[in-house]
Structure 1
Amino acid sequence: MGTISREPVLKRIFMVICFAFQYVYILLFRELPLLFYSARKSVTNQIVVITGGGRGLGKGLAKQFAIKEHAIVCILDINENDGLESVSEIVDEGGQAYFFKCDVSDSESVRACAKSIYSSPELGHVDILICNAAVLRMGTVLDLSDADFKTTTNVNILGYIYAVKSFVGDMMNRNRGQIVAIGSVCSHYGEYLGSAYCMSKFAVRGFMESLHMELIEKNNNITTTQIYPYFMDTPFIAEKQITPFSTFYELLPLDLCVKKITDAILREELYCYIPWHMQFLCVFCKCLASKHIIPAARRLFNFRYAPGEKQLMDAKLNYA
């Protein structure tokens, strides 16, 4: 078996110089024009699957795609009441939606839902998969139980993997489709009380980037989109009775995030940071990080978790 060796030094230098010119060309003539004009694709009557579509961001995206974009939405959620309520609201407003009870942490449950969608005469091939279902377990490493870490891993990581594996095969056969992963600013930064949640979001980012490279290697036309919003004002946060706080950032309105995420999906963007300048913090500033800079930057941005109204009320009652 032969061995593969590196190219000679001079050839490697020449290759780097050529790539630099190629990079500038792509930046000027292919990427920059997209900042001024990028066509949104139509998804009318296309099948959009959303995990965790029964409430919060997932519900918002389901309504946006079904009502505004005229897609046929399939909501996968473990909570049947939430899922059916979302479908009912969509149908009442003239959209098309279907509910499938699904536990994304169970691979058999996800595969069964995929099979039901493919075999349904009203549905069939899936055009867009939006992986959104997640759980939020907050606490220090010692405070969180083994079950907390296991649940977070099963839902937030394996749930995404199971969903992709259940739908990407058919997309590959058709050589078309789009896979969307809802991440977070926590996909780039670990934070106090976030050892479980941040860990899971980091993992999804690695999985999606690897999947993207796999599709490039196979020369497949499936696109991937990764969404990285700051904290949103959803029941996901409210139920924890805490409010993420920063000197520079406020909780993002849900409707704003829904519109920006939908726009990024329809433009088939590779990455979408909300707000857009969050990319500067998540990518470029990370390159300058050090053991001394990180604490100083944390003090500047002052990322904290403020107690929610219920906690404040309980504190007042206890004090009284």
Structure 2
Amino acid sequence: MNPFLDLLLFLATLIYSYLEAFVKLFVPVKRKSVSGELVLITGAGHGIGRATAFEFARRQSRLVLWDINKHGVEDTAAECERLGATVQAFVVDCSKREEICSAAEKVKKDIGDVSILVNNAGVITAADLLSTQDHQIERMFEVNILAHIWTTRAFLPTMMNNNHGHIVTVASAAGHFVTSFMVAYCSSKFAAVGFHKALTEELSTLGKDGIKTTCLCPVFINTGFVKNPSTRLGKVLEIEEVVEALMEGILTNQKMIFVPSHLSVALLSERLFPERALAVLKKLTDTKFDAVVGQKSTQ
């Protein structure tokens, strides 16, 4: 095609997309059923992972739960069984590729084909870059991004053979917006968001339209991992409201979920506003939390 026809095709698609988005504001989105699906959730012993497991259990999904904490994952499993779900719990350290691969093989052999994978396990250290210890940096990347890759590689082949599945990446607003004293954490979450986007693109290129992808990007959540967080952007989120948004996104096949939703507007501002204006805007948000700061400015 010549460039002029390419431009016309793009403009027609753009107009159609805007009209489609406008219509969807008034038409209820159809939600898919996850009943009977085999759902694997990493980091299921607490926080978002635990609450997400409860939601899938209420929807009659079959569950495989992974967590490094034996007591936590067994408690989650017991509650899911009380809700009527079939559950298998595994103690897995997601910072270790060998444990991930071993547990994945056991799941495939003894339980079945995972059709919904929720990569939720994550770790965080709040400190300036020079005070963050080497092992802390390594562990953040091992759990926050490499574990996503290992689990996806383990379960994606069957999804591709069936052209059916859903891969969920629990990332963070820190995968789009940077903040001081979280250099390694932000880097790992930027990688997680990039993984989600690249995987989505690759599946589309391969024609695997039956495999859906969703990425969750919330701001501070009241899980205790970050001490005394506060921001003028809004209140610290509760786990329940984040999981409610996540489940809605999974059931309606949303690709990117921001919590709160107005973060998507803030992301646009980063591309439109001059750097000086952005610096003032970031100061106005007044994001604070307790962090180890060994290197302070002398200016």
Q: TM-score range by the shorter chain?
A: over 0.9
TM-score, with length taken from structure 2: 0.92
Counterpart residue type for residue 126 of structure 2: M
SS at match of 1:305: coil
C-alpha distance after superposition, 1:281-302 (max 9, x if no partner): 12x1110244312220112211
Q: What residue identity is the alignment partner of 1:193?
A: F
Equivalent residue for 1:64, pick from 50, 55, 62: 55
Q: State whether residues 140 and 193 of structure 1, in contact with CA within 8 Å, keep that contact through their aligned partners in structure 2.
A: yes
Matches within 5 A, 1:149-164: 149-164=137-152
Does the CA contact (< 8 Å) of 1:223 and 1:268 recur in 2? Answer: yes
The residue aligned with 1:50 is 41
- Identity level (%): 28
Partners in 1 of 2:159 and 2:98 — Cα distance?
19
**Aligned-partner residue type, residue 240 of structure 2:** D
**What TM-score do you get using the length of structure 1 for normalisation?**
0.86
Cα contact 2:60–2:84 (8 A) shared by 1: no
Corresponding residue for residue 276 of structure 2? 292
Supply the distance in 1 between the matched residues of 2:14 and 2:101 (Cα, whole angstroms). Answer: 41
Paired position in structure 1 for 2:296: none
Are 2:259 and 1:277 equivalent residues in the alignment?
A: no
Deviation at 1:243, TM superposition (A): 2.0
How far 1:61 sits from its partner (Å)? Answer: 0.3
Secondary structure, counterpart of 2:284 in structure 1: helix
Q: Partner of 1:15 in structure 2?
A: 6
The answer to whether the aligner puts 1:261 opposite 2:246 as a matched pair is yes
More displaced stretch, 213-222 vs 243-252: 243-252
Using the TM superposition, give the Cα deviation of residue 161 of structure 1 relative to its aligned residue in structure 2, in angstroms: 0.9
Q: In the alignment, which residue of structure 2 is the partner of 1:312?
A: none
Residue matched to 2:294: none
1:37 aligns with 2:28: yes
Structure 2 contact 128–183 (Cα < 8 Å) conserved: yes
CA distance in 2: counterparts of 1:115 and 1:145, whole angstroms: 33
The 8 Å contact of residues 123 and 144 in structure 2, kept in 1 or not, is answered as yes
Q: Which stretch of the first structure deviates more once superposed, 129-138 or 142-151?
A: 142-151
Q: Which runs of 5+ in 1 are unaligned?
A: 1-6, 308-320
Runs of 4+ residues deviating >3 angstroms:
31-36
Deviation (angstroms), 1:70: 1.2
Per the TM alignment, residue 112 of structure 1 is displaced from its structure 2 partner at its CA by: 1.8
Q: Unaligned stretches of 5+ in structure 2?
A: 292-299
Quick one: distance in 1 between partners of 2:229 and 2:19?
38
Q: CA RMSD in A?
A: 1.6
1:260-306 per-position Cα deviation (integer Å, ceiling 9, x unaligned)? 11111011111111111111112x11102443122201122111226
Q: Count how many residue pairs are aligned between Structure 1 and Structure 2.
A: 289
Q: Secondary structure at the match of 1:103?
A: coil
Looking at CA atoms only, which structure, 1 or 2, has the larger radius of gyration?
1
